[in-house]
Amino acid sequence: MISFPAVQLGQTEIKCPITECTEYLDETTILYYLPHDDIIKYKYFLELSRTDSGTKPCPQCKHFTTLKKKGHIPTPAKVENKFKIQCPSCQFVWCFKCHSPWHEGVNCKEYKKGDKLLRHWANEIEHGQRNAQKCPRCKIHIQRTEGCDHMTCSQCNTNFCYRCGERYRQLRFFGDHTSNLSIFGCKYRYLPERPNLRRLVRGSVCAGKLLIAPLLLILGLALGAIAVVVGNRSGFALRLECLPLRSLWRFRVVQVHL
């Protein structure tokens, strides 16, 4: 796999990486060498470069929609409503004209001005917290009046952190957003001023757990085999119990008389 920096910049015409060559790579070659995440980006930018002004991607899921043109002359009210698009893929309602969430009763210019003021107000810190946080999925701003950092969007039911704005993710054995050393943990919970060190420590902990997990599995199987052998020889059975302990696992052998 090869990562082309041009793809990250939204470029679809990529020159051959060989210095002596001046040709451009074809689409098939680019897709063959790109990693999965870059393939998605490349296809999106490629589709975007091929569209005209009558086709735009959904602001939420990037599904492309073409605005249908009608022959009759609509009234001013209908002119505004014709730009109201409901994405068939994610059901998100947005404005085709300004490429923003739909703003009923407000024209695009007023909405953009108000949206800019809203973002500025939301980012201001008052009483030790942001005025509002944007939902990472539907992009609406939510203000917290009390409670913890765990927020649930009332529009799309997405769980996210009010402090950092990231979605809540968790995986057994690897922790969740509230874990200091978890790769899913909030950036403000552990070394917020040293992001590189934080990523290094959390990555090391994650790698260590990935190495330990197979060993614990092998240990459990070995103890189970020993329990069966000892039970057959002594006339009683030994049952192996696996108990959770702070996201790790510990094993206990229980004697059961036959």
Rounded distance between C-alpha atoms, residue 189 and residue 178, angstroms: 8
Whether the Cβ atoms of residue 45 and residue 4 lie closer than 8 Å to each other = no
Structure tokens at 51: 């569209």
Whether the Cβ atoms of residue 94 and residue 102 lie closer than 8 Å to each other = yes
Structure tokens at 39: 């393939």
Those residues whose C-beta lies under 8 Å from the C-beta of residue 66, and which sit 6 or more positions away, are: 54, 55
Tell me the catalytic residues.
Answer: 148
Neighbour tally for 202: CB within 10 Å: 22
